Structure 1
């Protein structure tokens, strides 16, 4: 072949390689993107048909089985496994739940080796590992969640009920973080969320957050008090005048 022929063949060959690569890579990309989309919407609270989640997980498996660190794919796979486990556990379907839990634990650890800064996955790992009782090493997982996302609102709303729900088992540092996080939720104006969290936790956590609320501006405490009345009437929020609730004192 002449030199000019080689020059002409170069771009043609390159175009052929690109076409082959596109045919191979794009389907995998779109499958992965679909799994990641479903995972993101699950975290946001949306429900999906189990078959759609299972299919997305099967397709995502091709992205994570090769051992390469692909953060988005591994994170999505872990969240899809969490969804399947929670459904099986709530049914309850004991054998399926046990199998799903084992797969979830493996998936979480695999994802966190790839993305050790993912605060949400650390929170999920803490929740899963402490299901049968909290051991000291489990607290490290919750600590990693706080360390990597101390002030992210959406994570705080998922983490605070878990942390305060485990309040009596937390060390002093984690207890302080959990109580401060509750106060921040109130100061961010998320009164209904804060009220729901307060109503669901034990007396020790309630006392701790009420003491911490003394430092929160009064206007926020008053709004929290009104939100609490809808789910747990009569809670004495520090500094909030409840005389209107006692007409005989007017």
Structure 2
């Protein structure tokens, strides 16, 4: 019986790669990568020569059974995503579940996840929080926002730069203009930025200064 390793990769700064992650990736028989071109640069940087196979949201339903067979045959496989920890708003859940159902060992290494530094440096309560990931784009979005308007715990969202203004506008409408918000952008990278204030203040800021890069939004819960 083989083993599945879930291996986090840096969300920007390559120095955040752990020694253990490098060791695992150098010793497995196969690496599953969300984008082999992106991951190829990472593996080359750390002189990792294990073969790669594409594993992303568009093909994971079709490849899970074959990967389970490979693991049952004794192969060790590592799963990585483009950045951060697999299965956190990225592929990974389906394969992990299949391994659990087939009594295949699964080991998840600790490592980079974008929402953790965003939450901690937001200045908002982090003893209790809820991770929402990406909001529904259309269907179900209004209903979800109405539910979250009553949430008392700190809320964490992922968002793309071209949808940030729309999302901040909805937060101002559903949660109130005075709700405290923190937006972290390009975490661990050269132009890392965290902007804190009310929903309306943050909306005004990014309306004047269109954002770029990966974004995490942290929103205070209802008092």
TM-score calculated relative to the size of structure 2: 0.33
Q: Which has the higher helix share?
A: 1
Q: RCO (CA 8 Å, sep 6+): is it higher in 1 or 2?
A: 2
| The structure with more radius of gyration | 1
Q: Which has the higher strand share?
A: 2
